């Protein structure tokens, strides 16, 4: 009986040493861990606020951008229980794409937490901000890729006049179009016009060599099983993409607004890219002014320093 009692005491002692004491130590660390996590969250939040502050400085002209890198330091810029230490601006040669990098610090008990965030921003046309916009749903299948925002089931419905700064469809067709085609056959030659191509009837492209640019308006349905286009495409009917296509700029599709559940299909090996250069070139070719706003075009990247 005595031996059993001794063994029981030893087992209880072992449990205390190997389980209870480590748990107690971890419990003691909980306040420190919580405090540290909160400090890191505050630093990250402040760093993001600093990026927004940097964008505002660009918009209101407080910061004059130059190609290359420009760093602004702030000795006593205290915000949100921390401080913005510096903001760095990196602009490309044409100053239309900018990387903003923020450096901040926050006090956490007796420690200082330093944090760095960066975001890529660009001057984006206010009225053209997505690779594909449609009144219907959008289905991307196969090896097709879309680089840029997708707007589906647009609410309110897409507005031609809003995108083209008040120009109506009638005005564009009758007074501005460089080429007007009615019920063209497959792969209609458009003379590679960097202007306005207006098509009444359906458009079908099956030739990989079909390569056009500018502003393309199809007053009907459009099917692409080949070819490429650079600029702004406006389809009044439905759009079907399937093949080795390449689209740079922005695509608008009205079709589907009266046909519930009829999706815009993008499939095959097509690639659709929201391309600011192609959009600007299309607008410039017809002498149409563009209003821009500064937008974040990449996700935040965060670094603990």
Q: Are residues 175 and 160 in the same domain?
A: yes
Taking residues 160-169, report their average pLDDT. Answer: 93
Q: Are residues 240 and 107 in the same domain?
A: no
DSSP secondary-structure letter at 298? S
Q: Are residues 46 and 142 in the same domain?
A: no
**pTM tops 0.75, yes or no:** no
- Tokens for 301, please give them: 């990247």
Q: Are residues 95 and 210 in the same domain?
A: no
Q: Are residues 202 and 178 in the same domain?
A: yes
Q: Are residues 119 and 136 in the same domain?
A: no
Q: Are residues 62 and 149 in the same domain?
A: no
Q: Are residues 76 and 205 in the same domain?
A: no
Q: Are residues 256 and 141 in the same domain?
A: yes
Q: Output b/e per residue, 238-251; b: 16+ Cβ within 10 A.
A: bbbbbbebbbbbbb
pLDDT digits (tens, 9 = 90+) for 205-221: 999 889 999 999 999 99
Q: Are residues 82 and 163 in the same domain?
A: no
Residue 190 has pLDDT above 80, yes or no: no
Q: Are residues 185 and 78 in the same domain?
A: no
- Which residue segment(s) compose the domain that 46 sits in? 2-125+298-304
pLDDT digits (tens, 9 = 90+) for 237-276: 999 888 888 999 999 999 853 333 456 778 778 899 998 8
Predicted pLDDT at 261: 45
What lies within 8 Å, CB to CB, of 273 at 6+ separation is: 131, 146, 147, 148, 247, 248, 249
Signed CA dihedral, 158, 163, 164, 166: sign only: positive
Q: Are residues 157 and 172 in the same domain?
A: yes
pLDDT digits (tens, 9 = 90+) for 31-86: 444 445 777 888 899 999 999 999 999 999 999 998 999 999 999 899 878 999 99
Number of domains the chain is built from:
2
């Amino acid at each position: 009986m005595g031996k059993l009692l001794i063994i029981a005491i030893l087992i209880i002692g072992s449990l205390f040493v190997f389980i209870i004491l480590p748990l107690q130590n971890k419990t003691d660390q909980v306040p420190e861990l919580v405090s540290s996590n909160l400090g890191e969250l505050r630093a990250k939040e402040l760093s993001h606020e600093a990026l927004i502050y940097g964008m505002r400085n660009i918009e209101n002209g407080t910061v004059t951008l130059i190609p290359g890198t420009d760093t602004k330091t702030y000795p006593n810029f205290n915000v949100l229980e921390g401080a913005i230490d510096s903001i760095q601006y990196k602009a490309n040669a044409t100053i239309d794409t900018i990387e903003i990098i923020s450096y901040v610090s926050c006090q956490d008990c007796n420690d200082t937490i330093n944090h760095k965030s960066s975001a890529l921003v660009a001057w984006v046309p206010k009225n053209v901000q997505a690779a594909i916009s449609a009144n219907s749903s959008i289905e991307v299948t196969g090896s097709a890729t879309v680089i840029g925002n997708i707007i589906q089931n647009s609410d309110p419905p897409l507005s031609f006049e809003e995108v083209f700064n008040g120009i109506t469809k009638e005005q564009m067709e009758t007074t501005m179009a460089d080429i007007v085609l009615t019920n063209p056959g497959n792969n209609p030659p458009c003379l590679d016009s960097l202007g306005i191509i207006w098509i009444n009837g359906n458009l079908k492209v099956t030739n990989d060599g079909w390569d056009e640019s500018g502003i393309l308006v199809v007053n009907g349905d459009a099917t692409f099983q080949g070819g490429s286009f650079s600029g702004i495409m406006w389809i009044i009917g439905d759009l079907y993409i399937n093949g080795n296509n390449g689209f740079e700029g922005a695509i608008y599709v009205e079709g589907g607004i009266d046909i519930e559940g009829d999706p815009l299909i993008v499939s095959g090996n097509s690639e659709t890219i929201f391309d600011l250069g192609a959009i600007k070139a299309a607008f410039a070719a017809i002498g149409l002014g563009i209003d821009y706003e500064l937008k974040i075009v990449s996700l935040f990247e965060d670094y603990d320093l």
